[in-house]
Amino acid sequence: MGGQPLYLEPRLGRRLRSVLESPGWLHMLTDALGSPLHVVIPDQVVENVDDFRSTCGRRHLSGQVFFAHKANQSHAVLRRLAATDAGVDVASLGELQRALGAGFAPDRIVATGPKNPEFLWLAARTSVTVGVDSPEELEQLAALVRKYTLPRVRVLLRLSGFEAAGVRVLSRRSRFGTSVRELAALLDMIERYGDAVDLTGVAYHLDTTSVTEKATALEGCLLALEECRSRGLRPRAVDVGGGFGVNYLADGEQWERYTTELTGAVLGTRSPLTWGGHGYGLRNESGTLRGTLSLYPAYRPVAGTRYLDELLTHPAPAFGGRPLAELLLEHLYDLYAEPGRALLDQCGLTLARVLEVRTPRDGGALLVRLAAKADDVALEEHGVLMDPIVVPRGAERSGSAVEPVAVHLFGSLCLESDLITRRTVFLPRRPEPGDLMAFANTAGYCMDFHATRAQNQPVARKIAAWQEGGSWRWCLDDQYWPISVGGAQ
Ligand SMILES: Cc1ncc(COP(=O)(O)O)c(C=O)c1O
């Protein structure tokens, strides 16, 4: 193989570990339903919502956790959450219809993202809260309400372009939200359209992992609420969006080692670690490393509720350095959060069958082709580097030596770019045709967000799985309802 294997082992919680301990069951499922196959675990998402709630509860903060539906189109996850008191964040007409159909009452739904008139109409018609992106959208919404005599709509104003107090550092530019500099004009509109809209809060969602940037945005929202109050408006909610992140890897040292070695590979000081010399954003310019690593920080210990906790304890310079949570509590503001990826942590995996294992003539990494397209396992698309787990077919093979191997994982399209991973993956043993590769923790964005029917190949089926009396039960995702069927759920 040449050199030490560079593993990036996935972090596995109790449920994923238990599913993977049932290899016969996983093979039975893929034999019956085909490869690739997505498995979602709705009970895990409920546990994750509870963790978010307790994080707020420990600080005596009230509010709501809205699952960002875009991260996974699973019916089962949505219906399971509808059976709790969690909320849902919908970002399209279709998602809103799904949420209503799953049993969410409108007061547990927030409509965000870019909206077409039909989406706005249905949201207003059903009294869903609308996260308003721009003055134009506010105008459009108010016009719809007046024209079709709809009920007055609750709105959150999504803001952007926050500035840290004292330092002229702008938060990163966003296509979405209205600049805080335009707040006064926006509030004029709120007052003008008072018959059609009811301002209940302000919001932000920033596409960054930086807690400091988000703390600046949250502080900016608190200042915006003060401006509202000075005008006699009474919004009470601050929606901090999503982006709490997931810690995908089990071992921080493996991640450190891998990224260091990748740098070496780009500079040519060690053997290549990717297909075709791909550098994940890094490049070698005459012996000097240039560019930035464009990967998800797969080992991310401060993620999910720990990230939220860090945000809440962050000091707010504009308020004498007091922690943000204290300020929220003092004003009895409601804290809204819209986690997608973080709520789906440990909520599923994707199975793909090994079709072919070729040994290249140059003796390099094995060429492994899977019965899946790169779009079906979009970890690579999201820059998440994490090893699959080989689930051998049948009993452990006797006789064949268990030795680590390096492999390249290809998809089933006749496209050079259909690579399940662009990096060389190290596995503890050689996979064989018929084995399964289990990609853990794919529920957040990596199952259906990018799904295609390219080459008329199937979109992966999805099943919901739950534990009952010590064993795993399942049904097709769209057949799942959170009621007891024959003793299930
Ligand atoms: C408005 C809004 N809320 C929530 C989310 C969910 O983000 P994440 O899945 O990173 O938590 C997104 C993601 O794009 C978003 O745009």
Residues 200 and 64 in one domain: yes
pLDDT over 50 (residue 74): yes
270: in domain: no
Q: Which residues fall within 8 angstroms of residue 209, CB to CB, at 6 or more apart? A: 243, 245, 297, 300
- pLDDT above 90 as % of the chain: 86
Quick one: 284 exposed, middle or buried, by C-beta within 10 A (0-12, 13-18, 19+)? Answer: middle
How many Cβ atoms are within 10 Å of 252's Cβ, its own excluded?
A: 13
Q: How far apart, in whole angstroms, are the C-alpha atoms of residue 63 and residue 46?
A: 17
Residues 61 and 101 in one domain: yes
Helix (H) or strand (E) holding 380: none
Calculate how far, in angstroms, residue 334's C-alpha sits from the geometric centre of ligand 1: 19
Helices and strands (H and E) in the chain: how many: 12, 22
Residues 109 and 60 in one domain: yes
| pLDDT, mean of residues 68-79 | 98
| pLDDT, mean of residues 372-386 | 92
261: in domain: no
pLDDT over 70 (residue 138): yes
Going by alpha carbons, the residue nearest to atom 10 of ligand 1 is 243
108: in domain: yes
Q: Nearest 5°: phi and psi at 249?
A: -105, 150
Going by alpha carbons, the residue nearest to atom 13 of ligand 1 is 242
pLDDT in tens, 347-360: 999 999 999 999 99
Residues 228 and 120 in one domain: yes
pLDDT over 80 (residue 167): no
CATH code at position 150: 3.20.20.10
Residues 24 and 87 in one domain: no
Q: Please count the structural domains in the chain.
A: 2
Residues 308 and 354 in one domain: no
Calculate how far, in angstroms, residue 69's C-alpha sits from the geometric centre of ligand 1: 9
| pLDDT, mean of residues 76-84 | 98
Calculate how far, in angstroms, residue 91's C-alpha sits from the geometric centre of ligand 1: 9
| pTM attached to this predicted model | 0.96
Calculate how far, in angstroms, residue 60's C-alpha sits from the geometric centre of ligand 1: 24
Residues 323 and 452 in one domain: no
pLDDT bracket for residue 450 (50, 70, 90): confident
pLDDT bracket for residue 130 (50, 70, 90): very high
pLDDT bracket for residue 212 (50, 70, 90): very high
Q: How far apart, in whole angstroms, are the C-alpha atoms of residue 335 and residue 236?
A: 9
Residues 311 and 372 in one domain: no
Q: Are strands 129-132 and 153-160 parallel, antiparallel or unpaired?
A: parallel
Q: Nearest 5°: phi and psi at 15?
A: -70, -45
| pLDDT, mean of residues 24-29 | 97
pLDDT over 60 (residue 136): yes
CA distances from residue 420 to 159, 313, 376, 410, 424 in whole angstroms, order as listed: 37, 39, 9, 5, 11
Calculate how far, in angstroms, residue 177's C-alpha sits from the geometric centre of ligand 1: 13
Q: Which residues fall within 8 angstroms of residue 208, CB to CB, at 6 or more apart? A: 171, 172, 214, 243
Residues 447 and 337 in one domain: no
> What pLDDT score does 487 carry?
46
Residues 25 and 107 in one domain: no
- The domain boundary, picked from 328, 344, 360, lies at 344
- The domain boundary, picked from 344, 378, 401, lies at 344
Find the domain containing 339 and state its range.
42-245+300-344
Q: Which residues line ligand 1 (CB under 6 A)?
A: 68, 71, 89, 112-113, 205, 241-244, 338-342
Average pLDDT of the chain?
A: 94
Residues 18 and 63 in one domain: no
- pLDDT above 70 as % of the chain: 96
Residues 188 and 332 in one domain: yes
CATH code at position 30: 2.40.37.10
How many Cβ atoms are within 10 Å of 181's Cβ, its own excluded?
A: 12
